[in-house]
């Protein structure tokens, strides 16, 4: 009898996993597209506002800074209100954030950017909690990696959609379309995930929740390792993404258009890489082993960029595409390992706590790279120096893997 019930429940679990994974991936796509919407049309917006296009850097920093703060309290919110409600709140932040930016008023652009950052910080903890409830342990890496493939896919969507719509409708209307995307996803979520009942828990203050999460993380060697890896690998990812075009133009003599095409290919490779490395981690049964391999390959790739001007064009393209598959491909495996090592019923909370360090890496990485370049005046040498993030991450992940076995 119990076997018959288990067999009957299996299709239902598979359907629930598919629904949850689909919704979570779509939320991730629109989240990333919202974050990068203004970067894709920065020259047009800057011209209308009468400011320099370089100010987009401050807007991105503002988004990630607010994302770091909301990620720190996301665990408490997920426990208090449930992951579905928090995902819906994140989608609301993207909707009103894009509308605020579309007004072309500086104050509302700032508020809109803060809202997008808040939504971005809430998204992953809530999605991890949702997925952890329906994902079998043996498929955790591939499921989380499929969801995280929404990051490069969202970047590709922003790069093509917003310039295209801006050329035909104007950038204000393009951003209103950007607000419509999370609205449509929220309608889909309402259809597939009715607001779930929230487990009765004593309300926890944000300060207490944050301190509890950080205490758990710092007392657990594996969670400490994952926090360090999130910092190192996000610094590498954002640095190569931010400086790929300028490196090809400055060091290798490419045109901006051609270099931009290579950067787009990097993002495609990143989407494929997230799925590929999730499959690898599940096949070999080792998330930390996969993260160690990613650190080694990332470090070697960064070191190889030192010799970029001496390579033929096809090798330059291959190196950057490979770097996309490696430096963008780590995130799903890391989130799956966080879910594996978090205490029961605390997946969302611990995910938010670990991602604080990922956000710090996002903020620190590109700015540190820029300062390093200002000191030595050579992009290749800057990448060579930053390879230590990859090799250091390899050592941290390998040590955690050995401790596991």
- In order of start, what are the domains of the chain with their CATH numbers? 1-203 (1.20.1250.20), 207-405 (1.20.1250.20)
**Residue 174 token pair:** 């393009």
**What number is the average pLDDT over the span 99-107?**
92
- Residue 4 confidence (pLDDT): 37
Residue 398 has pLDDT above 80, yes or no: yes
Q: How many CA atoms lie within 13 A of 333 on its CB side?
A: 31
Q: Bigger pLDDT: 143 or 53? A: 143
**Residue 189 token pair:** 């979520």
Q: Count Cβ atoms below 10 Å from residue 50 Cβ, excluding itself.
A: 6
Helix (H, G, I), strand (E, B) or coil at 10: helix
Residue 205 has pLDDT above 50, yes or no: yes
Residue 175 has pLDDT above 80, yes or no: yes
- Summarised one tens digit per residue, pLDDT across range 273-308 is 989 999 999 888 789 999 999 999 999 999 999 999
Give me the torsion for CA of 45, 48, 51, 52, rounded to 10°: 50
Q: How many residues does the chain have?
A: 405
pLDDT-wise least confident of 202-211, 332-341, 342-351: 202-211
- Residue 8 confidence (pLDDT): 41
Beta-carbon contacts of 92 under 8 Å, excluding residues fewer than 6 positions away, are 119, 182, 186
**What number is the average pLDDT over the span 11-21?**
74
- Residue 9 confidence (pLDDT): 47
Tell me how far apart the alpha carbons of residues 101 and 198 are, in angstroms, rounded to a whole number: 34
- Summarised one tens digit per residue, pLDDT across range 125-140 is 899 889 988 888 888 8
**What number is the average pLDDT over the span 258-273?**
85
Identify which of 45-49, 59-63, 96-100, 266-270 has the greatest average pLDDT.
Answer: 96-100
In the chain, the largest separation of any two C-alpha atoms, in whole Å, equals 72
Tell me how far apart the alpha carbons of residues 378 and 305 are, in angstroms, rounded to a whole number: 11
Look up tokens 């909707």; give the residue: 95
Buried residues in 125-138 as b, exposed as e (16+ CB within 10 A): bbbbbbbbebbeee
Q: Bigger pLDDT: 96 or 57? A: 96
E runs forming strands in 251-294:
none
Q: How far is CA 381 from the centre of its chain?
A: 27
Look up tokens 């999460």; give the residue: 213
Tell me how far apart the alpha carbons of residues 92 and 190 are, in angstroms, rounded to a whole number: 13
């Amino acid at each position: 009898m119990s076997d018959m019930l288990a067999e009957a429940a299996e299709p239902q679990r598979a359907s629930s996993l598919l629904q949850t994974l689909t919704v979570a991936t779509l939320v991730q796509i629109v989240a990333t597209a919202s974050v990068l919407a203004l970067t894709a049309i920065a020259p047009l917006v800057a011209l209308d506002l009468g400011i320099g296009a370089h100010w987009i850097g401050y807007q991105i920093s503002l988004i990630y800074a607010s994302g770091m703060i909301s990620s720190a309290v996301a665990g408490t919110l997920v426990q208090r209100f449930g992951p579905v409600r928090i995902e819906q709140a994140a989608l609301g932040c993207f909707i009103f954030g894009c509308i605020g930016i579309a007004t072309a008023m500086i104050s509302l652009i700032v508020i809109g950017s803060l809202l997008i950052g808040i939504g971005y910080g809430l998204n992953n903890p809530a999605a991890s909690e949702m997925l952890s409830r329906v994902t079998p342990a043996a498929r955790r890496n591939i499921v989380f990696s499929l969801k995280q493939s929404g990051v490069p896919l969202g970047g590709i969507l922003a790069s093509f959609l917003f310039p295209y719509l801006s050329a035909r409708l104007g950038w204000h209307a393009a951003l209103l379309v950007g607000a419509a995307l999370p609205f449509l996803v929220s309608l889909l979520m309402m259809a597939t995930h009715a607001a779930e009942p929230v487990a009765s828990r004593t309300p926890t203050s944000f300060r207490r929740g944050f301190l509890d999460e950080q205490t758990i993380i710092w007392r657990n060697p594996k969670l400490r390792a994952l926090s360090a890896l999130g910092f190192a690998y996000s610094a590498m990812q954002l640095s190569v993404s931010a400086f790929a075009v300028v490196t090809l133009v400055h060091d290798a003599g490419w045109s901006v258009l051609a270099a931009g095409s290579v950067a787009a290919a990097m993002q495609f490779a990143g989407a494929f890489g997230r799925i590929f490395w999730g499959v690898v981690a599940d096949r070999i049964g080792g998330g930390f082993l996969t993260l160690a391999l990613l650190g080694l390959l990332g470090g070697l790739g960064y070191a190889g960029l030192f010799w970029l001007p001496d390579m033929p064009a096809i090798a330059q393209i291959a190196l950057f595409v490979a770097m996309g598959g490696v430096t963008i491909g780590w995130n799903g495996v890391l989130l799956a390992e966080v879910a594996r090592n978090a205490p029961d019923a605390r997946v969302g909370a611990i995910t938010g706590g670990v991602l604080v360090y990922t956000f710090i890496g996002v903020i620190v990485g590109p700015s540190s790279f820029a300062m390093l370049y200002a000191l030595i005046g050579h992009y290749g040498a800057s990448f060579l120096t930053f390879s230590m993030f990859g090799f250091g991450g390899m050592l941290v992940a390998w040590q955690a893997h050995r401790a596991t076995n």
